[in-house]
Amino acid sequence: MEIRNLRLQGMSISEISRLCGIDRKTARKYAAGDSYPKYERKILKGSKIDPFKSYIDQRLEKFNLTAEKLYFELQHRFSQGFKSSQ
């Protein structure tokens, strides 16, 4: 069922939204437009700590470190490369 065709046949936006199981605003947008929106996958970015994961794994295997101690160590050991939000 195409939403635009249903609207042209005289169905109300509320009826179309109930029939199709979508929100009224979405039904209105699809009925007014010529085509459905095209969705594309986003390119996933890496984490800020990806370059340091091997170091973190090694440190956690050797020592029982808290997150706070590990964070402090990363800041001081990699002061040039480790950028954090705090």
Residue-range domain boundaries for the chain: 3-32, 46-86
Q: Which residue in 36, 26, 84, 75 sits closest to 55, CA to CA?
A: 75
Cβ(34)–Cβ(48) under 8 Å?
Answer: no
**pLDDT for 8-36, tens place per residue?**
899 999 999 999 999 999 999 888 887 77
Residue 50 has pLDDT above 90, yes or no: no
Over the chain, what is the mean pLDDT? 85
State how far the Cα of 62 lies from the Cα of 84, in Å rounded to an integer.
Answer: 24
Tokens of 56: 């973190």
